[in-house]
Structure 1
């Protein structure tokens, strides 16, 4: 077994590799002078006590990729001097990073069970949004998929998220409830990978409603009736080892504000 320090170093490198491109994306379009101005403004803000200036790393479920980029930009505009960097992956992978000592400040998963797996490494979670599942097919729905039962057709190439992934677990629940047996062509590490497979090669898959909404020109979406569906809850929590706990708590609290909730609603997420 590797020493704990080695595991933490490996985890730190993994998170850094994921968040650096997003951090660069957040700073695109701004000159070095603007960055310096923002830092000065942040220092003034921090000294005035309005908001703690910080560089926050947020580990977030893959299904939050698009909406959190928008939310992060909004938050940074409202809190000069604070930078929010995101690392998106399957919730189970994020919790594994936390367990390995990944240097981060906030964790947001796509179900309460996975957040619970983080145990004492996180603070008390707050539900910030909910979601539902839909069936997605290749554009034009060439195989005329209409219901969950249609996914049992052995001629169909169906892709699902792996059972350990919240989206995969939810999909397994709804399929079992309808007594539908599906033999997936592949089981993906996160829900966005399911969407990509349907966009490029698979006939159908099950993703969140919000994921399907990001690719209306590439996939068709078939609603799953509420009585057959599952409701996904998204809890957010600060990491106990965060070096910027006050700033992390402020970000989690902001996610429940009307402004942040409006951003989530526009992306198709439901109220907590």
Structure 2
């Protein structure tokens, strides 16, 4: 019986030595949940592809929506690791409520422009042609909407929009579907539209530029991975991807 017991002990020790003790050892990956502004949809998916090449044990999943909606979700306890908004003001809401881990860092900027349906059936060439036309804009609480309001005020333009949307992608969708004569969006939205819309330069838009910040959410259970993603957004590789998508430096 002594020999049998010894054999069992050896076997048990061998099994213990072979058993995984950590998440990394078992091959499990950390899933990083990134809340990001709707205007970042395609470019962030490209950046994530490059990021996971350098972080083999991390997977990234996204939730894209209007920045104000994302901030509201995090404020209400929605599980997120990283938040990237389309302006600093919206991000400041989370910072003011101590819901961020560390200070946000700007990684890109964007400028407003005018999108019209292909062929420009409304014959719009500038903001002077808005009268009597179906104009679609972002709602004021959304970063692109706040920028639109600032632009209108600075250029003495009266806006009488046919509708106010909760995200810039909704504005672009209505224009590309021919449901509006024009829509105020970001230059990057027209660049990623891949047809269906044309761009008309918005006079004075270069004076209203939105900076895009990102930060780790304080309630994140994957802060190291989240910090790594936020840091990667500052890399030359990410900057090139953003520039190729039409974004500018912050």
**Same fold? TM cut 0.5:** yes
Tell me which residue corresponds to 1:87: 63
CA distance in 1, matches of 2:78, 2:92: 17
Aligned match of 2:24 in 15, 33, 43? 43
Deviation at 1:228, TM superposition (A): 5.5
Aligned match of 1:110 in 78, 86, 89? 86
Deviation at 1:213, TM superposition (A): 0.7
Indicate if the aligned counterparts of 1:178 and 1:228 stay in contact, CA closer than 8 A: no
CA distance in 2, matches of 1:53, 1:251: 15
- Does residue 149 (structure 1) correspond to residue 119 (structure 2)? The answer is no
CA distance in 2, matches of 1:229, 1:213: 20
Aligned match of 2:142 in 165, 184, 198? 165
Deviation at 1:224, TM superposition (A): 2.4
Deviation at 1:43, TM superposition (A): 2.8
Aligned match of 1:223 in 201, 213, 222? 201
Aligned match of 2:227 in 249, 268, 271? 249
- Does residue 60 (structure 1) correspond to residue 36 (structure 2)? The answer is yes
Indicate if the aligned counterparts of 2:113 and 2:205 stay in contact, CA closer than 8 A: no
CA distance in 1, matches of 2:57, 2:248: 31
1:119-171 Cα offsets, whole Å, 9 max, x none, are: 210131000100100000010112221212222x12x1110000000001101
TM-score by length of 1: 0.79
Q: Which has the larger radius of gyration?
A: 2
Greater strand share, 1 or 2? Answer: 2
Alignment of 1:230-269 (within 5 A): 230-269=208-247
Indicate if the aligned counterparts of 1:149 and 1:178 stay in contact, CA closer than 8 A: no
Tell me which residue corresponds to 2:172: 195
Higher relative contact order (CA 8 A, sep 6+): 2
RMSD between aligned alpha carbons?
1.9
Tell me which residue corresponds to 1:97: 73
Deviation at 1:80, TM superposition (A): 1.0
Number of equivalent positions: 224
Deviation at 1:182, TM superposition (A): 1.6
Deviation at 1:225, TM superposition (A): 4.2
- Does residue 185 (structure 1) correspond to residue 162 (structure 2)? The answer is yes
- Does residue 204 (structure 1) correspond to residue 182 (structure 2)? The answer is yes
Displacement over 6 Å in runs of 4+: none
CA distance in 2, matches of 1:68, 1:256: 13
Q: Unaligned 5+ residue runs, structure 1?
A: 1-41, 47-51
